[in-house]
Amino acid sequence: MKFWQRHQAQSPTVLGAAELDSATAVSPTALIELRNVVKAYQTPVGDFIALRGLDLTIDRGEFVAVVGKSGSGKSTLINMITGIDRPTSGTVMVGNTPVHTLKEGPMAQWRGRNVGVIFQFFQLLPMLSCLENVMLPMDFCDVNDDKEREAIAMHLLEQVEMAEHAHKLPSEVSGGQQQRVAIARALANDPPILVADEPTGNLDSRSAQAVFRLFESLVSQGKTILMVTHDNELARRASRTITLADGELLDEHLAKVFPALPHDQLLAATRQIEPQTYAPDQVIIQAGDEPDRFYIVTAGQAEVLLPDRWGGQQVVATLQNGQYFGEMAILNGSTRNATVRAAGETAVSVITLSPDAFHALIARSPATRADLDRVVAQRTDANKHAAQKGS
């Protein structure tokens, strides 16, 4: 049985339609959408910009890890999504609710029903039992009657393997167990979203792994999870990782293609990328042309073509989301030796960098250059083999 199937139907989510500006409505596939979000804090020495025109879309059922150095804007980002703080400018849409417009009272009610927040230091009330802590969100939002609240809270504690400790105080259980109780509490009102701020940062490795497995189980049951973490191993296990640097999002595809590059270089490159879209069968690069861009596929597929024995072309490779092309001619200082076109029946989206931006990106990273050289050597051998096979 899923975590939330025991819950009775709740009253409709407070807020939304009356305050929803149709011009800012969330896209059909997204659960969370931030558009051009800026957050500035006033300090004695001037404004500090925590978020700089940030755009982010998170779909239903995603497990998103948020990483970045201290001060990069991670906590500010989740505060925007949970409504704990408001943007200086820009829009924050969660479902059909413009969170950035809500006043304090309605905001608290909306958050209590729609977002479960999990903290690094658990934030359980010390004088209440584990069971009573889990019941608190239901009490606050006036969801279910007293008997049902206790039954639901016990069910959730069972799911996180804490039922036998239901009547203990938080101080009487371990840190990992307290975090399990905190997760049960976050699920009390069956929110579609869980936001976790360093949920494993105060746990030993064994407890951290157990909490992460619990998150994976929740995602498999339909929850959307946004997890801030400094643990790169856990971040890699999430279905998607977004990286913040100086209040800006690094391009996810660049970060995956060039994992050895420092954040400052990736941020500089992110500012220079140009997105492009090609219709099915449209040529992206042509053999014999001068190299003018480096490409990473972000949606759809691209086919790599070489001449065949009959004077036509043969497909020697199909590139998927996250794979790149166009680097060989740039690195070798030669013309293109293959044609690449959009494949299939749908459009292909790519992000591109100019040769100068590409060279600047890899100039300070011998490890990245070595990785690229290995890929170029592999592709050169593969192309030779394909050409011999097709001749």
pLDDT (0 to 100) of residue 179: 87
Does one domain contain both 66 and 210? Answer: yes
Confidence class for position 28, pLDDT limits 50, 70, 90:
low
| Alpha-carbon gap, residue 208 to 206, rounded angstroms | 5
State the pLDDT at residue 120.
77
Could you say which of 219, 249, 279 is where a domain stops? 249
pLDDT reading at 250 higher than 50: yes
3-state DSSP assignment of residue 202: coil
Asked if 132 and 202 sit in the same domain, the reply is yes
Section 279-300 average pLDDT = 94
Last residue of a domain, one of 249, 277, 296: 249
Segment 52-67 mean pLDDT: 94
Residue 22 has pLDDT above 60, yes or no: no
pLDDT of residue 13: 37
Quote the pLDDT of residue 105: 85
Q: What is the mean pLDDT of residues 155-170?
A: 90
192 and 82 both lie in a single domain: yes
Q: Do 188 and 214 reside in the same domain of the chain? A: yes
Residue 1 lies in a domain: no
pLDDT score of 389: 62
pLDDT value of residue 345: 81
pLDDT given at position 9: 37
| pLDDT(155) > 80 | yes
Angle at 239 (CA atoms; ends 31, 157), nearest 5 degrees? 75
DSSP state of 52: E
224, 58 contact by CB (below 8 A): yes
**92 within domain boundaries:** yes
pLDDT for 319-376, tens place per residue?
999 999 999 899 888 999 899 999 978 899 999 999 999 998 888 888 888 888 888 8
Task: Say what the pLDDT of residue 200 is.
Answer: 82
User: Do the domain assignments include residue 376?
Assistant: yes
8 within some domain: no
- CA–CA distance, 74 with 210 (Å, rounded to integer): 23
Domain hosting 228: range is 17-249
| 260 in a structural domain | no
Domain membership flag for residue 262: no
Looking at the structure, tell me whether residues 171 and 102 fall in a common domain.
Answer: yes
Same domain for 308 and 228 = no
Q: Say which CATH number the domain at 278 has.
A: 2.60.120.10
Q: How sure is the predictor about 88, in pLDDT bands with cuts at 50, 70 and 90?
A: very high
Ramachandran region of residue 372, left (φ > 0), alpha (ψ -120 to 50) or beta?
A: alpha
Residues 6 or more apart in contact with residue 315 via CB below 8 angstroms: 303, 304, 305
Residues 185 and 32: beta-carbon distance below 8 Å: no
Q: Average model confidence (pLDDT) for the chain?
A: 85
> Domain ends where: 187, 217, 249?
249
Q: Does the structure show a pLDDT above 60 at 390?
A: no
Query: pLDDT per residue over 167-197, tens digit each?
Result: 999 999 998 889 889 988 988 888 899 999 8
In a domain, 384, yes or no: yes
Q: Is the pLDDT of residue 254 over 50?
A: yes
The number of folded domains in the chain is 2
Taking the C-alpha atoms of residue 5 and residue 14, their distance in angstroms, rounded to an integer, is 21
Calculate mean pLDDT across residues 254-258: 89
Average pLDDT over residues 113-142: 88
Sheet holding 348-353, edge to edge: 274-278, 348-353, 294-299, 324-325
The pLDDT of residue 198: 86
208 and 295: one domain? no
CATH number of residue 117's parent domain: 3.40.50.300
Query: Is the pLDDT at 24 greater than 70, yes or no?
Result: no
pLDDT attached to residue 204: 82
Residues 237, 357: one domain?
A: no
Looking at residue 7, its pLDDT comes to 43
Same domain for 376 and 239: no
Residue 324 lies in a domain: yes
